[in-house]
Amino acid sequence: MALPGAPAPAPAAAPVPPPPPTVLMAVRAGLARPSRLPPLPAAAALRLHLSVEPAAGGQRRFRLGLRQPEAAGGANVAEYDLKDISYKVRSPTCHELTVLGSSDEPMVFNFEEEREAQKWWTIVSSSLREVQKASDSTLASQASSLPAAAGGVSADQDPEAALSLELSEKEDLALHLAQAIEYGDEEVASQCAVALARQQATLSILLKESNYPTDDISMKVGVEDATSSASITIRVRAHTTIATLKQQVFQDYGFHPLVQRWIIGQCLCVDERTVSSYGIRKDGDTAFLYLLSAKMAELTEQRYEEDQAQVMLSSTSSLTDAAGERRKYNTLPNMSPKKGWGNEAGRKMDIGEISQHLDTLQIGDLFSAQPKPAATSLPSPVPAGWSCPKCTFINKPTRPGCEMCSTDRPEDYVVPGSYKPDETELWRMQQEQEGILQYQQALEAERLKNFQQLLQLEEEVLVPNREVLECRICYQRVAPGEGVLLRECLHNFCRECLRQVINYSEEPEVACPFRDDSYACSSHLQEREIRALVSPEEYRRFLERSLVLAERRSQNSFHCKTTDCRGWCIYEDSVNEFRCPICQALNCLLCKAIHEGKNCRQYQDDLQVQAQNDSAARQTNDMLQTLVQIGEAMHCPTCLIIVQKKDGCDWIRCTVCQTEICWVTKGPRWGPGGPGDTSGGCRCNVNGQRCHPRCQNCH
């Protein structure tokens, strides 16, 4: 009963229900040896599930349960604490569970898929290790708390107790050293440091988070591997270490810390240092993350899955730990709380998209049984070599491109003469030379193949079109193979239009018919193209037109005087007769007539006689006299026949009397004494003077 005037007692607070257990993994398995379990269906199929729940003292309790399948009601068959069982792997698809301290036979589980069994064993084995570590720590704590008078041995007699006391003293000294430094007590700090140095204690001295700014930093990260790249933004704090950053990327994106290489400010980052020590101090500061292949990082698939399971367990612990205490037992490095991690507002790619994009990188599918190269030590923060202008990574002097982002080496960089490549670089250079040789061989093979294709194409008379085209003459659709590609200009037309162009051409060279508002093609059809496009009769008429046009345009052409004969020739100055190859008639080029059996004088005398009664002969005689009057013909000074200079120099010879004649003076070339007699004739070049103002000085 409450005293008078005393306040009424407060109502009792309702007990907080414990959080439900978290299922880490569930898998189906067949029970081959059921032991003393309750009766099961004929199929004897079970659903194994591993769960974890908080326990007293900040620890966790792992339980392995056996349930019936959902089709059979999903009832709970049995449940065991991991510390009370022994779990072994008998084969890739067969596991064995034994209850410790029980006389029952072991339970044997058969899995359908080997990969599913391996994942289940990874989670179970990690949980078993956690349970074992927690148990060992509890036993050690209990043993150290027992007083020596309670039947235990003294520290002087028990080596383990002595070791524990020594560690306790070192911890006290380290704690006093930290406090002395924090309070600025130089004397005490010096004494603690000397004592620790005498005991050769291994220390890890880190600044507390309170020494750093508390604001979040939006750090821009460029992520690349040998084939792909992406950009993300990560929110970090100044005290975030590189190891913590690697763990966060592993948890968010699935890239193991072993394959991560962080480069900030021209330095290859080490795990113990913070991002602020590398210059990440404000929003927008950049970092570079290069992802190695799993083979190069010597990362096995089993190691990856075990570490991934540990990350999952640590995440579960942070969610189920209501007091927010730090997890005590973990095989992976501790991770900082996940505060504000993610992408900036307005980013186009979220975490899922980035993860899906980076799945194409090399680490996803390079777990193979191939032998792994020997591990190489990481380069020092400032090794000798050239700095990449893009990602700032320091590369070896002989590398032609950046090892991280494949950017070309600066053109002005000169490899030091004293530099000696190591074995790895020599192997890379050898591989590079072999790659260049293989490329040159492939290029040469490709050139040879192209050359053979050109030769094959050259042997074809017409080059057909490979694609559908529109003829630029008739504007009709032309199917593949029905058009023609002209060799000289590569213009396409249909066959019928080109045939009409050839038939109506007035030139011996048929021009390409391509025309538009700003361009007219100046190329011509080849002779074999013309012959293939028209019929034999059309090709014959085309040749005849070409011959007529060629005769008309030639200056020294002479047509045979036989009626309706098509023979003609192009004569030279030293030739005075032309025998027609068609009618076999002998044409006199001087008289421009046919007078076989007569010389030119006899023909001209007969022509004068016939001119009195024969109109044709009279016309020929009048024509010769006209030529004399206009200066295109002359009378021989010796025999008086009419001679004509066809072309060439001013020296001619009479075909009848063989007199040498000077054409410009219309007289004999030499004096009475014959050739060389300059007492008469035209006296050309005597005393350096020409014989006539129009003399060409050629005789």
List, by residue number, the catalytic residues.
649
- Check: CB of residue 413 under 8 Å from CB of residue 386: yes
* Whether 77 contacts 68, CB under 8 Å: yes
Q: How far is CA 505 from CA 72, 266, 551, in A?
A: 94, 74, 17
Upper half-sphere CA count for residue 223 (Cβ side, 13 Å): 21
Distance CA 354, CA 339 (A): 20
CB atoms within 10 A of CB 66: 21
Alpha-carbon distance of 118 to 696, in angstroms, equals 109
- Environment class of residue 44 by beta-carbon count within 10 Å: exposed (0-12), middle (13-18) or buried (19+)? middle
Helix axes 159-183, 186-198, angle to 10 degrees: 150
Give the span between the Cα atoms of 262 and 288, in whole angstroms: 6
Closest CA to 122 of 332, 320, 313, 365: 313
CB count, 10 Å around CB of 234? 22
Length, in residues, of the chain: 699
With a CB cutoff of 8 Å and minimum separation 6, the contacts of 311 are: 247, 250, 251, 332
Strands 85-91 and 217-224: unpaired
CA 463 to each of CA 74, 369, 456, 481: distance values in angstroms, whole numbers, following the listed order: 76, 53, 11, 9
667 DSSP β-pair partners: 662
- Cβ atoms of residues 54 and 44 within 8 Å: no
CA of 368: how far to CAs of 18, 253, 300, 303, in Å? Answer: 45, 22, 9, 14
Cα–Cα distance measured from residue 157 to residue 134, given in angstroms and rounded to the nearest whole number: 27
Give the DSSP per-residue string, 597-659: TS-HHHHHHHHHHHTTT-HHHHHHHHHHHHHHHTTS-EE-TTT--EE---SSSSEEE-TTT--
198 Cβ partners below 8 Å, 6+ apart? none
Answer for the pair 314, 337: CB distance below 8 angstroms, yes or no.
no
CB 667 within 8 A of CB 675: no
Cβ atoms of residues 286 and 219 within 8 Å: yes
Please compute, for residue 501, the number of CA atoms within 13 A of its CA located in the half-sphere on the CB side. Answer: 21
Quick check: 77 and 37 in contact, CB under 8 A?
yes
Instruction: Report the alpha-carbon distance of residue 301 to residue 322 in Å, rounded.
Output: 34
Q: Which candidate, 58, 65, 80, 54, places its Cα nearest to that of 316?
A: 54
